[in-house]
């Protein structure tokens, strides 16, 4: 065991000045027999959040040792704790993950300027976490000033990941690329960003070479290709490169030649015509990428291009085709070359036939996501998948445990068979796109389908339900889903009883998000203590009233009970309710349309 002190700067550790019963000699047998340094050293090997939380509850010594040795912290709801409380407890944090807005903000259900500002966090981090290296933000509001502060405050800063955030522009990115000399990761995904120009890429200094991850797939402005080329050739450790759709095949080829060691590649748009020479050059470049295990991008791909990828597909474990409207035959031909595939994201343009090919060719598949290719509310060509496709996958892919499936029809019988084939589901997210649609063969509600899921899949942690559902579905969920942590419900249920059943059961429930269901105050208040054991509750378009919410707030002072009021609201109904536990008290930055009760 290595007893040497860590070489990187660390806050000087002091013994707890307050004598406490635990450190008294008479109770030695209860407290740790090891010196603090040893305990900390051991605990620093623990990475799991759950383990660390358990450790911190053993005794005061362990609590202290854990808090000094923790370097990464995950905050699932930025309003559940304050930066002051965080930095007081954990002095040596190097990596922070922060999540902000409720998930339904992804679907435009949360008005802009709702909150989740990273600003107050950064201000505190700038003084308390001088050695911060990583910041990962999801659904937070970030400004260009924030990014500049970030770039200038942390000399060791290495990794920035922004997912589903808003409030910044490419100017903010330029601050990062200009000033962060030790940057290894820049991951900008699906943000509501003011995309002014691609100049940020040219701001990397000419001697900068530490980049390992670069993802700008969702940015639309052109970057200077020569600057990108030079960057890629300098950064020998580059593992992940995801370019935007403006990259041509020629440019892609040049990048591949420079970086054959890539593990993850995101292509640009693949529509250009290729001469035979270009075709074979590109194919050979892909052939040289022996470490490639993830491919994504594929904006507007043509059939002619796909065979170029075949040599690279043999080692693929993750294929993200969710921006490419492939046909079933195109997918089928591609999958023949991907025997090791574990994760596959596709559009429903591949139809059931395409999914049959998945079942036939990908025995190691663990995760499948099928997104809708067209907006079903527009009168467009609707390709689609049905229960047949899902069934076919379940017969061929016995290791399947994560599914997100947008479909146009489903039956109870099919779902029952699917979970019999694949009982190890941990994430079952089924979206029958027509709200309240019954089993199309029997015209019955889809209760038995989800009943089968929760009864059979004992490891289930995440569930999203859809179709015509009565309270029976929720009785099943409450009774059987003992490991369920996240439940998403829309246009379902018959009465308060449904929600009551879920709240009375589901002992591990952490996140409950509900929209457009007939659940009212009785349901909301039926098990109000439960909300303290959960991260959050979202209810919109339901039947709760302001009075009901006020009652909840009264009963549970340690919960933040927030109602989003929108214009036209009569002041009686609580349109959008967001309830979450917090040790930081009510929000200080709530906008006028958010009422904290």
- The footprint of other proteins (CB under 8 A) covers 104, 106-109, 164, 190, 192, 218, 299-300, 322-323, 325, 347, 371-384, 386, 406, 408-409, 431, 433-438, 440, 443, 464, 468, 488, 490-491, 494, 515-518, 541-543, 566-570, 572-573, 575
452, 477 in Cβ contact below 8 A? no
Rounded to the nearest whole angstrom, what is the least distance from the CB of residue 443 to other proteins in the complex? 4
Rounded to the nearest whole angstrom, what is the least distance from the CB of residue 286 to other proteins in the complex? 24
Rounded to the nearest whole angstrom, what is the least distance from the CB of residue 262 to other proteins in the complex? 23
Cα(422)–Cα(437) distance, integer angstroms: 24
Cα(515)–Cα(510) distance, integer angstroms: 17
Cα–Cα distance list, 356 to 137, 347, 351, 384, 391 (Å):
37, 14, 9, 14, 9
Cα(385)–Cα(408) distance, integer angstroms: 6
Cα(482)–Cα(477) distance, integer angstroms: 8
Nearer to other proteins, 154 or 323 (CB): 323
Nearer to other proteins, 24 or 380 (CB): 380
Rounded to the nearest whole angstrom, what is the least distance from the CB of residue 83 to other proteins in the complex? 28
Nearer to other proteins, 284 or 495 (CB): 495
Rounded to the nearest whole angstrom, what is the least distance from the CB of residue 104 to other proteins in the complex? 7
Rounded to the nearest whole angstrom, what is the least distance from the CB of residue 245 to other proteins in the complex? 9
Tokens at 261, concatenated? 């060691």
Rounded to the nearest whole angstrom, what is the least distance from the CB of residue 542 to other proteins in the complex? 7
Nearer to other proteins, 394 or 545 (CB): 545
Rounded to the nearest whole angstrom, what is the least distance from the CB of residue 192 to other proteins in the complex? 8
Nearer to other proteins, 3 or 572 (CB): 572
Nearer to other proteins, 322 or 360 (CB): 322
Tokens at 426, concatenated? 């941990």
Nearer to other proteins, 127 or 220 (CB): 220
Cα(255)–Cα(279) distance, integer angstroms: 15
Which 3-state string (H, E, C) describes 59-102? CHHHHHHHHHHCCEEEECCCCCCCHHHHHHHCCCCCEEEEECCC
200, 168 in Cβ contact below 8 A? no
- Cα Rg of the chain, angstroms: 26
Rounded to the nearest whole angstrom, what is the least distance from the CB of residue 320 to other proteins in the complex? 12
Helix or strand (DSSP H, E) at 55: helix 49-56
- Identify the bridge partners of residue 512 per DSSP, sorted by sequence position: 487, 537
Nearer to other proteins, 104 or 305 (CB): 104
Close Cβ partners of 98 (under 8 Å, ≥ 6 residues apart) = 75, 78, 118, 121, 135, 136, 137, 138, 140
The contacts found for 123-127 with CB under 8 angstroms, 24 or more apart, are 123/83, 123/149, 124/83, 124/84, 124/86, 124/87, 125/83, 125/87, 125/96, 125/153, 125/154, 126/153, 126/154
470, 445 in Cβ contact below 8 A? yes
Helix segments in 130-248, DSSP class H? 144-153, 170-179, 199-202, 225-234
Q: Which residue has the tokens 């954990």?
A: 90
Rounded to the nearest whole angstrom, what is the least distance from the CB of residue 490 to other proteins in the complex? 7
Nearer to other proteins, 235 or 542 (CB): 542
Rounded to the nearest whole angstrom, what is the least distance from the CB of residue 38 to other proteins in the complex? 47
Nearer to other proteins, 139 or 343 (CB): 139
Nearer to other proteins, 376 or 423 (CB): 376
């Amino acid at each position: 065991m290595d007893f040497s002190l860590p070489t990187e700067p660390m806050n000087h550790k002091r013994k707890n000045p307050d004598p406490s019963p635990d450190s008294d000699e008479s109770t030695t047998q209860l407290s740790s027999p090891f010196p603090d340094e040893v305990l900390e050293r051991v605990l620093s090997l623990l990475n799991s959040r759950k383990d660390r939380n358990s450790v911190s509850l053993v005794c005061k010594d362990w609590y202290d040792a854990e808090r000094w040795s923790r370097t990464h912290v995950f905050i699932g709801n930025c309003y559940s704790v304050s930066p002051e409380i965080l930095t007081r407890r954990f002095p040596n944090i190097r990596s922070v993950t922060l999540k902000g807005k409720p998930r339904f903000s992804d679907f435009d259900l949360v008005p802009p300027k709702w909150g989740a500002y990273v600003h107050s966090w950064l201000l505190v981090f700038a003084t308390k976490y001088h050695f911060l290296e990583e910041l990962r933000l999801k659904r937070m509001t970030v400004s260009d000033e924030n990014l500049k502060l970030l770039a200038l405050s942390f000399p060791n800063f290495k990794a920035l990941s922004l997912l589903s955030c808003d409030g910044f522009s490419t100017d903010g990115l330029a601050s990062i690329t200009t000033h962060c000399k030790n940057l290894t990761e820049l991951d900008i995904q699906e943000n509501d960003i003011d995309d002014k120009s691609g100049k940020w890429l040219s701001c990397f200094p000419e001697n900068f070479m530490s980049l390992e991850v670069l993802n700008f797939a969702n940015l639309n402005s052109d970057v200077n290709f020569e600057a990108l080329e030079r960057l890629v050739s300098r950064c020998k450790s580059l593992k992940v490169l995801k370019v935007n759709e403006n990259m041509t095949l020629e440019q892609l080829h040049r990048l591949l030649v420079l970086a054959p060691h890539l593990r993850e590649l995101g292509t640009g748009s693949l529509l250009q015509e290729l001469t035979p020479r270009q075709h074979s050059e590109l194919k050979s470049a892909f052939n040289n990428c022996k470490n490639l295990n993830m491919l994504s991008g594929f904006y507007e791909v043509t059939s002619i291009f796909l065979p170029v990828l075949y040599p690279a597909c043999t080692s693929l474990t993750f294929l993200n085709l969710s921006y490419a409207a492939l046909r079933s035959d195109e997918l089928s031909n591609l999958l023949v070359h991907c025997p090791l595939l574990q994760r596959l994201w596709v559009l429903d343009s591949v139809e059931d036939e395409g999914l049959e090919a998945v079942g036939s060719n990908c025995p190691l598949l663990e995760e499948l996501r099928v997104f809708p290719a067209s907006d079903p509310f527009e009168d467009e060509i609707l390709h689609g998948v049905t229960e047949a496709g899902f069934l076919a996958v379940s017969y061929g892919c016995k290791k399947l445990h994560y599914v997100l499936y947008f479909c146009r029809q489903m039956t109870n019988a099919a779902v029952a068979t699917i979970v019999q084939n694949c009982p190890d589901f941990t994430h079952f997210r089924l979206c029958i796109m027509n709200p309240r649609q019954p089993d199309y063969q029997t015209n019955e509600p889809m209760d038995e389908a989800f009943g089968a899921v929760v009864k059979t899949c004992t490891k289930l942690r995440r569930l999203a339900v859809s179709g015509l559902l009565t309270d029976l579905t929720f009785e099943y969920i409450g009774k059987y889903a003992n490991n369920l942590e996240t439940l998403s419900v829309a246009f379902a249920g018959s009465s308060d009883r449904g929600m009551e059943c879920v709240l009375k059961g589901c002992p591990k429930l952490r996140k409950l998000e509900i929209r457009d269901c007939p659940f009212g105050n009785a349901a909301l208040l039926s098990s109000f203590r439960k909300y303290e054991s959960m991260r959050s509750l979202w209810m919109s378009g339901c039947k709760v009233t302001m009075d009901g919410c006020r009652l909840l707030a009264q009963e549970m002072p340690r919960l933040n009970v927030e109602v989003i009021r929108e214009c036209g609201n009569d002041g009686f109904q609580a349109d959008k309710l967001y309830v979450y536990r917090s040790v930081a008290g009510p929000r200080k930055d709530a906008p006028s349309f958010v009422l904290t009760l």
